[in-house]
Structure 1
Amino acid sequence: MPTLRSALSIASLTFACASAFFCAGPAHANDSSAELSAGGLVLIRNLDVEMRSEDLFISTGEVRVRYVFHNASDKSVTGLIAFPMPDITASEANISIPTEDPVNILDFKTRVNGTSVRTDVEQKVFVLGIDRTAMLLDQKVPLAPHLQSTRKVLDALPRPLWDEWAKIGLARVDEYDVGQGK
């Protein structure tokens, strides 16, 4: 039986967290601050806050990043800090995504001064440079191509929609023979 597999590329998956900054000292602009606009998450410059250091640890089991920010103003500053994530595609190479969470698919955790804070997720689906997120959400398709629940929703879609999505590159139809000519 043919099944629809999403060929979606979550090309602009960005996680952001709200953080507070306290300190004093010289200011340098950086690109880690963000704001939500009509088009989604946009990186901005914050002249009051500078990134003093970034310590990165990468292993096969985990990635840890520790940032130290410095508030150069004489007042408390609250801002949105963005951390861009890698592209997630529906390819067979993504079989080791560490979580069944359909939103926080990389099991991202955020802490400020050692305390856990809420992580907000912005997911976008781009195909050939065109944002197709709304098309998937309108059909209640989770934006997590690695999940069985996503495959079930895709497989239940009407065939004309499969054909439309395949035509624009959003999905592909996988057909296979189970060894009995079927």
Structure 2
Amino acid sequence: MIRTTVLACLLFAPAMALANDGFGGLSATGLTFGQTDAVAMEEEDLFIGIEHIRVAYVFRNTTAADVTGEVIFPLPPIPLAGMMESSWNLPEDRERENLVNFTATVDGAPVPVQIDRIAVIEPPWEEGRPLNAQYDTPGRDVTAELAALGIPLTVNPDTVVAMLLAMTPDQQAKIAAAGLAEYFPTDTGSVDYVAPAWSVILRYHWTQTFPAGAVVKIVHDYENRPAGGLFGWEDPPTADYMQYQVDRYCVDAGTSRAMAKALAYTDESGETYSMGMAWNIDYVLRTANSWAGPIGKFRLTLDKGAATNVVSLCADGIQKTGPTTFVMEKTNFTPDRDLEILVAGPLER
């Protein structure tokens, strides 16, 4: 049953609650180390594909003393209510501890990575809120409140809903009063539907020492789980939602024509449509600004997955290097915006 209150919240959530023909997903990010003036990122080699992301870094401790701290790879908040109302590009096994199969090596050797989970009540959706804000200010931490109730920090909404419905009436009243969930009573007063209000955040981390004056090479990779779904396009773009895509992904006239051509097909009745599949890949570049100074050498390799796919993003100096690959290189690079990438392609017919 679609409940009005929940639906009203979800319709305004960016890439989290799409139409029935779409699925929600996660933005991706790099490594953070707090704010340091001691360790510089000399190189970042970033590969982004539809299903996989790999980043190779070269860090240098620019001081005469060892520096030790936590290297952190955060995922954005995953809203349980959003997962109840739409499909999500997450593993079939929602109970998997390492949700995106994150791995890391330091100087070529695998490093054991800890995985922390916290729960937050996210702030209200705000148009134009930068991608990095969901990592920097994710919301009110309610981890301890859920632990006191015995509720695990799973991203499986079925598990959570079953536990919330099994609570006593007094417990349900306290949970609702604390803003942790919204219960929906039936006409007879019984409760058969509940919407959890929190989101779950996974943070991968390990303790790392950067020796004085030395270079440390860190490589990490993980599954890319972007949002996406059915995608229609016409050229020239006229609908409001198309103009939003034009602005967000810097879709120029040539790319617009290419998308309309790639997505075009004719059905059995002879009707011609322009409909396909799209992936909305977000990558938070500005976490790199937590390290000392600019990125000495930055290289982005983007793989659109298939030669028939079309890609668009706001980036200067990106060059096609193969049937599916594009490369952008920068020196002394200080990211001032995050990557938002549109990949669109024909449906399998």
Identity level (%):
28
- Contact 1:102/1:147 (<8 A) preserved: no
Q: With the length of structure 1 as denominator, give the TM-score of the two structures.
A: 0.59
Taking only aligned residues, the RMSD between alpha carbons, in angstroms, comes to: 3.3
Q: With the length of structure 2 as denominator, give the TM-score of the two structures.
A: 0.34
Quick one: which of 150, 157, 170 aligns to 2:167?
157
Gaps of 5+ in 2: 1-5, 10-30, 124-138, 187-191, 193-349
Letter in 1 for 2:46: L
Residue in structure 2 matched with residue 49 of structure 1 by the alignment = 39
Is the counterpart of residue 141 in structure 1 residue 151 in structure 2?
yes
Quick one: which of 92, 107, 112 aligns to 1:118?
112
* 1:142 to partner: Cα distance: 1.7
Quick one: which of 140, 145, 149 aligns to 1:130?
140
Q: Which moved more, 1:143-152 or 1:86-95?
A: 143-152
Give deviations 1:130-181, integer Å, cap 9, x for gaps. 32110111222121233544344333322322232233332133678xxxxx
Residue in structure 1 matched with residue 179 of structure 2 by the alignment = 169
CA distance in 1, matches of 2:183, 2:120: 19
Q: Against the structure 1 CA distance between its residues 161 and 56, is the aligned structure 2 distance closer, same or farther, given a 3 Å change threshold?
A: farther
Give the number of the structure whose residues are more often helix, by fraction. Answer: 2
Give deviations 1:10-58, integer Å, cap 9, x for gaps. xxxxxxxxxxxxxxxxxxxxx932xxxxxxxxx232x332112223323
Q: Against the structure 1 CA distance between its residues 72 and 95, is the aligned structure 2 distance closer, same or farther, given a 3 Å change threshold?
A: same
* 1:103 to partner: Cα distance: 4.5
Residue in structure 2 matched with residue 88 of structure 1 by the alignment = 78
Return the index of the structure with the highest Cα Rg.
2
Letter in 2 for 1:139: L
CA distance in 2, matches of 1:113, 1:60: 27
Residue in structure 1 matched with residue 59 of structure 2 by the alignment = 69
Higher RCO (CA < 8 A, seq sep 6+): 1
Gaps of 5+ in 1: 8-30, 34-42, 177-181
Residue in structure 1 matched with residue 201 of structure 2 by the alignment = none
SS at match of 2:100: coil
CA distance in 1, matches of 2:120, 2:168: 22
CA distance in 1, matches of 2:113, 2:87: 22
